């Protein structure tokens, strides 16, 4: 198994780095790439769905990004300790009818010694928004370093 630095125990700096690396990976919308950050037997709770292992992660993310078009995500470190990180996040997307949404949530992460996530619990709420209410306008892919974060946007 390949290590995914930074590895626990996390410092404030390494926890922030881990959060940004996760955000960057999810913004690729590449299920196979994202799944490599998780243990082969990783356990997720995402809303009301329970997911086990990389194969189910890839299937879940493939379905997700087929529905959530032009997906852009911002994550922010909330807390950390040892091999745990808590984040809050918001992402924007539209459906195939052009309706825009902003989804807000929190995640609790647990990592193995190699820095692979073995547990992910996500709680998420969706808010319909107008095109004018969107705040994420960067080109698809990695969020630019100078783009405001969640706290800067008042989320």
What digits encode the pLDDT tens for the residues 51-60? 999 999 999 9
Q: What is the pLDDT of residue 93?
A: 98
Do 116 and 143 contact (CB within 8 A), yes or no? no
Query: What CATH number corresponds to the domain at position 90?
Result: 3.10.450.50
In 3D space, the residue among 38, 26, 19 whose CA is nearest the CA of residue 115 turns out to be 38
Residue 120 in domain: yes
pLDDT above 90 (res 1): no
Residue 136 in domain: yes
Residue 149 in domain: yes
- Quick one: tokens of 128? 């319909």
- Quick one: tokens of 65? 């990004």
Indicate the burial class of 75 (C-beta count within 10 angstroms; 0-12, 13-18, 19 or more). buried
C-alpha span between 16 and 140 (Å, rounded): 22
Angle at alpha carbon of residue 110, lines to 74 and 149, rounded to 5°: 15
Range of the domain at 138: 12-153
Task: Kindly list the distances between the CA atom of residue 69 and the CA atoms of 19, 51, 60, in Å, as whole numbers in the listed order.
Answer: 22, 22, 15
What digits encode the pLDDT tens for the residues 10-50? 999 999 999 999 999 999 999 999 999 999 999 999 999 99
Per-residue confidence band for 2, with pLDDT thresholds at 50, 70 and 90: confident
Residue 2 in domain: no
Number of compact structural domains in the chain: 1
Residue 5 in domain: no
Q: What is the pLDDT of residue 15?
A: 98
What digits encode the pLDDT tens for the residues 98-149? 999 999 999 999 999 999 999 999 999 999 999 999 999 999 999 999 999 9
Do 135 and 104 contact (CB within 8 A), yes or no? no
- Quick one: tokens of 12? 């404030």
Residue 146 in domain: yes
Residue 122 in domain: yes
Q: What is the pLDDT of residue 38?
A: 98
Task: Kindly list the distances between the CA atom of residue 45 and the CA atoms of 1, 23, 110, 149, in Å, as whole numbers in the listed order.
Answer: 23, 18, 12, 25
Helix (H) or strand (E) holding 82: none
Residue 6 in domain: no
Across the range 63-92, mean pLDDT stands at 98
Q: What is the pLDDT of residue 83?
A: 98
pTM of the model: 0.97
C-alpha span between 126 and 142 (Å, rounded): 22
Do 72 and 84 contact (CB within 8 A), yes or no? no
């Amino acid at each position: 198994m390949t290590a995914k630095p930074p590895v626990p125990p996390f410092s404030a700096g390494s926890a922030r780095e881990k959060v940004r690396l996760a955000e960057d990976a999810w913004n690729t919308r590449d299920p196979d790439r994202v799944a490599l950050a998780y243990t082969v037997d990783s356990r997720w709770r995402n809303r009301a769905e329970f997911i086990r292992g990389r194969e189910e992660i890839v299937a879940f993310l493939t379905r997700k990004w087929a529905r959530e078009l032009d997906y852009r995500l911002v994550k922010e470190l909330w807390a950390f300790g040892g091999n745990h990180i808590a984040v809050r996040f918001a992402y924007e997307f539209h459906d195939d009818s052009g309706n825009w949404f902003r989804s807000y949530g929190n995640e609790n992460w647990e990592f193995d010694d190699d820095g692979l996530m073995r547990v992910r619990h996500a709680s998420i709420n969706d808010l319909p928004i107008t095109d004018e209410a969107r705040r994420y306008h960067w080109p698809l892919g990695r969020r630019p370093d100078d783009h405001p974060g969640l706290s800067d946007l008042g989320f």
